[in-house]
A = this chain, B = another copy of it.
C-alpha cells in the first residue's frame, strides 16, 4: 500500500468512527503517525481527501449498478444484491449518516451525488422491470415509480435514520433489518412467489438475528 492509499484508508476509518465534521488534516496526520507536511504533500487539505474518497465510492457504486443490469432476475439474486449494495454504502457511512450536512459543505459533491441518485433510480427501475419480465413481479403501472422512490429513499436515508434516532445499531444487524425492510416493499407485489420468498427471508433473518 503506498502512502496515498494509506492516507485514504486511514481517513475513511477515522471519519466512519468519529464523524468527519470535526476532524482536521492535522488530526488525520496524527492518527496516521505522519507529519502534516507529508500529508499535505499528498493531499492539499481535508477537502482533497474527501474528494478522493468520494471518487472511490462513486466508481465502486457505478460498477455495482452497471454490473446489475440484466443479470439479476430472481428474488434471491435481488436479495443478495441488496446486501452487496448496503455493505458498499455502509463502508462510506460517514457520508450517508450526515448526508445533508456534507453536501452543504461540499457543493461539488452534491452535484455528483445527484447524478449518482439518478443512476440508482434507473437501476432500481430496470431491476424491477426484469422481475416483471420474468413474471415474478406484477405491478400496477402507477405503483412502479412509487416503489422505485420508496426503495431509493430507504437506500439513501437508512444510515441517517439510524443517526437521527441515535440507535447506533451494529453493522450486521442494521444491514439485515434494512434488507428485510426493502424486500418487504417489493414482496406484496409478487403474489404466491412473494409469500414463499417472504418465508425464506424471514427464516434466514431469524437465524442471523439470533447469532
Interface residues of A (CB under 8 A from B): 21, 97-101, 103-104, 110, 113-114, 117, 142-143, 146-147, 149-150, 152-154, 156-158, 160-161, 163-166, 177, 180-181, 184-185, 188-189, 202
Contact = CB atoms under 8 A, between A and B. Distances in A.
Given A143-B184, A150-B185, 20 more contacts: A100-B100, A100-B160, A100-B163, A100-B164, A101-B104, A103-B164, A113-B164, A114-B164, A114-B165, A146-B177, A146-B180, A146-B181, A146-B184, A149-B177, A150-B150, A152-B161, A153-B158, A156-B161, A156-B164, A160-B160
Nearest to A152: B161
A161 B202 CA distance: 29
Contacts of A153: 153-154, 157-158, 161
Please give the count of copies of this chain that the complex contains: 2
B142 A202 contact: yes
B150 A21 contact: no
Please provide the 10 A-B residue pairs with the shortest distance between their CB atoms, ordered closest to farther.
A188-B188, A101-B101, A157-B157, A100-B100, A98-B100, A100-B101, A153-B161, A146-B181, A114-B166, A146-B184
Contacts of A150: 150, 154, 181, 184-185
Nearest to A206: B142
A104 B98 contact: yes
Contacts of A189: 188
A180 to B, nearest CB: 7
A95 to B, nearest CB: 11
